Structure 1
Amino acid sequence: MSQATVLIVDDEADIRELVGITCARMDVKVRSAGDLATAARLLEQQPFALCLTDMRLPDGDGTDLVRLITERYPATPVAMLTAYGSMDTAVAAMKAGAFDFLSKPLDLQVLRDLIASALRLRVVGEPDDDSGLLGCSAQMQEIRRLISRLARSQAPVFINGESGTGKELAARQIHDQGPRAGRPFVAINCGAIPADLVESELFGHRKGSFTGAVSDKPGLFQAAHGGTLFLDEIADLPLLMQVKLLRAVQQKHVRPIGSEREVPADARIISASHCDLKAEVERGTFREDLYYRINVIQLDLPPLRERPEDIPILARHVLGRISADSGAGPAPRTLSPEALAALQGYPFPGNVRELENILERATALCDRPVLQPDDLGLPAAPAADTTAAAEAITPDSTTPDAAAPAATPPDPALRALAEQPLEDALGEIEKQAILRALDATRWNRTAAAKRLGMTVRSLRYRLSKLGLDRPEP
């Protein structure tokens, strides 16, 4: 491959010189321009591996150059140089198509990382057709096209979609198709971390900084350095941590707990939530400034019920994977036309994850090579609410004894509960209520928590306390 060339556009000679020295040490050529007109002429003369442009130029706005390059030279990534703290400018540039941004005064390590990321774009291969984001629907075709475009940018992406729609899979595809492929992809569910441990998990800590900190520990930002950090269920972050996350996104540095120095954290941020973040902002549970920083580009994943034409493709893929994982040979199970029609008529509240669970259960319990509708175990109607069921079987305390129905022998299970200590008995009742809600929602924890009238965080805590915690299907 020929030696790469970077175009630097800035009216400050010392900035052009600094970038030139940095590029020379990376074996990269540099051409420079002090204004838009000169930059436009250079772009016509040769291709560039990267363009770095200042926001304020003598004859115009750097965002105009971003738009010009995006329209005429789409193979050339362009990064914006902004004044310290001018994140609104950086966000506007990335919305216009900028690859990334750098704040002045320039951090040389961040500059080198950015140049290296841009150079890796030249060797990124074509996306894998078997990406897992399968489907022939117009929605999925458009999502795959959008992911290919997002992969070439370093702009923060927010993925919105119901539980089970494949948000982490989409984030991985953005990472794998971009210049950070081969670097770490670190995923974390923000709702699964206890509130008092979030800062340590994200930013790390120093030995002795708090009780239990027996050694230095790098955070997830450091673990994802050079790669991508995927923050799932970001709406569950406490407000105090949202402030610190905002600074980390803006400055690309983090300060571990107990440290007096910040460390570079060059991680592309991709976040996701099943919640409407805009509504959370209006309710005051999510910071508006953080919302605009992480939601530079939004990717909406449709629920499975809106694209039933994709179910045959997804089902074949899942059945093939189940067969391969079980070592059953090259002939995976198939679906009868009636079973396929039943799946296409089912609303799938748990989306693709629920489809996988249904097919895994069916193949485990059925010996036939062709699955029939009865093998799928699809519910005929929504399960009754556990609260209503409890009210239906609980006697009204105000009913006079004379009006009470005739006594019946106590259920053995209830008798066993009555013989336990009160705390144990209540724990067993709680356990059974949680299990019923999880079974009714096919272990969709978000739906089960809503059914039980609690937050997802509270449900996860109770599952752990009762020894029921397990990886989500």
Structure 2
Amino acid sequence: MAAQSVLIVDDEPDIRELLDITLSRMGLETHSAASLGEAQARISEVVPDLCLTDMKLPDGNGISLVEYIQRDFPQMPVAMITAHGSVETAISALKAGAFDFISKPIELETLRNLVNSALQLEGDTSRADSAVDHDLIGSAPSVERLRKQIIKLARSQAPVHIRGESGSGKEVVARLIHNNGPRAAGSFVAVNCGAIPPDLMESELFGHVKGSFTGATSDKPGLFQAAAGGTLFLDEVADLPLGMQVKLLRAIQEKSVRPVGASEEQPTDVRLLSATHKNLAAEVEVGRFRNDLYYRINVIDVQVPSLRERREDLPALAKTILGRISSEEGTAKATLDASALDALASYDFPGNVRELENVLERAFALSDSGTITGDDLQFPSNAPVMRSPGTRTRKTDRPGSEIWNISDADGDLEGFLEDIERKVLSSALEENRWNRTAAAKQLGISFRSLRYRLKKLGLDD
């Protein structure tokens, strides 16, 4: 098999020689060019597998070469060599379509990682096309645009910020970008920034060394280290405290982290993806999110459509979700009748695809047959009306009766309702001496429904 080839574009002979020696030792064939015009001619002549170009060239700049390659050789990855600390240049290159960038003075291990990742890209994108089609259900125009973005972004190392409402599928998009790129063999590490206590956040992200604080009984790698060679997905990144935002920015720019209590920084090799349901630009305006970090993580912006913006995809989504639920339960595939489809189409789904999954899981558990009807779909609008915050609702003559203050929901209605349901089910089981059949009868639900609810709430042990 012929060796893969790399075109080195730089007007400094010493840089070209350093890169030539390093890449040759990796078993790669190299070609060189000292100007923009010479580089374009060499690309047409040898069609290399990768192009490494300096930003400043005698007759132009590296961005022009990136744009030329994107237009005439779109399957060829190109990486930019930038001056140290030139963040704006790096971001401009990534926006133009560069695979990645590396700063001078060139760190050889970082260079080798970049080259190895770039050369793992497949020239034929048909496999990625098929994988994205399979996992991203729907044919709405907004979904078709999203598919094309995912396939293109999977071929880049650019930081991507994914916007969308809660439950719309932001992590699904992040996983598709990871799974169809050169880092697919590495780990995909997802973390919800809003779920980590502020005093533990630095240790969670960057790790710590033994004895660095009370309770640090051993060295612990952080999430950046866990994602080495793969992708780190920061969900709800807008919830990061300002102090942590400064440290994250440095980690991104320097491509290194310093564990808590360590004296030296450690190089990192991760692709960073982030997401939030908030308007990050608005968070910057009011001072809750740093402008420089926003600029760095928002190199490429992806919008995930809400479910109400793609209503035509509801039947296909529902069919796929029901197929998965049926498979997990080991039963024949459930179907939706016309009344169920009408009910789905008339609901706004503020919780998006996640809410659709919950609705269908509940309907599947409540249905007595393989066909789900409109009556089986219990949307919040069909449930008892929740009173205004601060009022109290008394439930009597029921297991688990107590006074519930709706203000206790504290912005998490779903968690609040689950807590109430958990108390009711636990009380019913206790009253019936853990006889599930008797408990289901007392609550007026089927045994199958009770089993589903216990499993959902973690009470099935």
Normalization by structure 2: what TM-score?
A: 0.85
Give yes or no for the alignment of 1:185 onto 2:188.
yes
- Contact 1:386 1:436 (C-alpha < 8 Å) held by counterparts: no
Tell me which moved more, 74-83 or 435-444. Answer: 435-444
What secondary structure sits across from 2:381 in the alignment? coil
Contact 1:222 1:265 in 2 (8 A): yes
1:173 corresponds to = 176
Given that 1:203 and 1:255 are in contact with CA atoms closer than 8 Å, whether structure 2 keeps it comes out as yes
Over 3 Å counting, the alpha-carbon distance change for 1:137 and 1:442 in structure 2 is farther
**Which residue in the other structure is 1:149 paired with?**
152
Q: Deviations over 1:266-324 (max 9, x none)?
A: 10110000000000000100000110111111110111011111010000001100111
Counterpart CA distance in 1 for 2:266 and 2:215 is 22
> Which string of whole-angstrom CA distances, capped at 9 and with x for unpartnered residues, describes residues 318-350 of structure 1?
11001111111xx31100011111101100011
Judged with a 3 Å threshold, the aligned counterparts in structure 2 of structure 1 residues 186 and 282 are, in CA distance, closer, same or farther, namely same
Letter in 2 for 1:38: E
Change (3 A) 1:440 1:19: closer
Q: In the alignment, does 2:139 pair up with 1:164?
A: no
**Which residue does 1:455 correspond to in 2?**
none
Name 1:365's counterpart in structure 2. Answer: 366
The amino acid across from 2:9 in the alignment is V
Runs of 4+ residues over 2 Å off in structure 1: 122-125, 129-132, 379-388, 390-394, 410-413, 428-444
Do 2:133 and 2:147's aligned partners in 1 also have CA atoms closer than 8 Å?
Answer: no
Q: Are the equivalent residues in 2 in contact too, given 1:204–1:256 (CA < 8 A)?
A: yes
Instruction: Give how far 1:107 is off.
Output: 1.0
- Does 2:409 match 1:434? yes
In the TM superposition, what is the alpha-carbon distance from 1:379 to its structure 2 partner?
Answer: 3.1
Alignment partner, residue 352 of structure 2 = 351
Q: How does 1:51-450 map to 2 (within 5 A)?
A: 51-122=51-122, 126-127=127-128, 128-129=131-132, 131-328=134-331, 331-380=332-381, 384=385, 386-388=387-389, 390-391=390-391, 433-434=408-409, 438-439=413-414
What letter is aligned with 1:208?
G
2:78 & 2:361 partners in 1: Cα distance? 46
Residue 355 of structure 2 aligns to a residue in which SS? helix
Going from structure 1 to structure 2, the CA distance change for 1:228 and 1:470 (only over 3 Å counts) comes to farther
- The code of the aligned residue for 1:347 comes to D
Q: How far off is 1:60 after superposition?
A: 1.1
Preserved CA contact (<8 Å) 1:336 1:372: yes
Alpha-carbon displacement from aligned partner over 1:88-115 (angstroms, at most 9, x marks no partner): 1100111111110101111111100000
Alignment coverage as a number of residue pairs = 417
Q: Aligned-pair distance for 1:80?
A: 0.7
Q: CA deviation at 1:380?
A: 3.1
Distance 1:290 1:470 in 2: 38
Partner deviation per Cα, 1:29-77 (whole Å, 9 max, x = no partner): 1111111111111011022111111111111111111111111111111
Alignment pair present for 1:39 and 2:33: no
- Which amino acid is 2:118 matched to? A
Q: Give the residue type in structure 2 aligned to 1:294.
A: I
* Distance in 2 (alpha carbons) for counterparts of 1:437 and 1:318: 25
Q: Is the 8 A contact 2:50 2:118 kept in 1?
A: yes
Does the aligned pair in 1 maintain the 2:168–2:304 contact within 8 Å? yes
> CA shift at 1:123, angstroms?
7.0
How much is the aligned-residue C-alpha RMSD, in angstroms?
2.6
> Does the CA contact (< 8 Å) of 2:210 and 2:216 recur in 1?
yes
Name stretches of at least 5 consecutive residues in structure 1 with no aligned partner: 395-409, 418-427, 445-468
| Percentage of pairs with the same residue | 54
**Range with greater deviation from structure 2 (434-443 or 132-141):** 434-443
Give CA deviations for 1:232-265 in whole Å, capped at 9, x if unaligned.
0000001011111111111111111111111111
Contact 1:124–1:178 (CA under 8 A) maintained in structure 2: no
**Whole-Å Cα distance in 1 between the matches of residues 383 and 211 of structure 2?**
52
CA contact (8 A) 2:393 2:405 kept: no
Deviations 1:126-148 (Å, cap 9, x if unpaired)? Answer: 12155421001111111111100
C-alpha separation in 2, matches of 1:15 and 1:246: 28
Q: Does the CA-based 8 Å contact 1:51-1:77 persist in structure 2?
A: yes
1:430 Cα deviation after fit: 6.2
Measured in 1, the distance between the counterparts of 2:415 and 2:262 equals: 47
Alpha carbons of structure 1 residues 392 and 362: separation in structure 2 relative to 1, 3 Å: closer
Give the match's secondary structure for 1:121: coil
Q: For residues 21 and 65 of structure 1, do their structure 2 counterparts lie closer, same or farther at Cα, with a shift above 3 Å needed?
A: same
Structure-2 separation of matches of 1:429 and 1:392: 6
Q: Is the 8 A contact 1:124 1:179 kept in 2?
A: no
Please state whether the residue corresponding to 2:122 is helix, strand or coil: helix
Contact 1:187 1:230 in 2 (8 A): yes
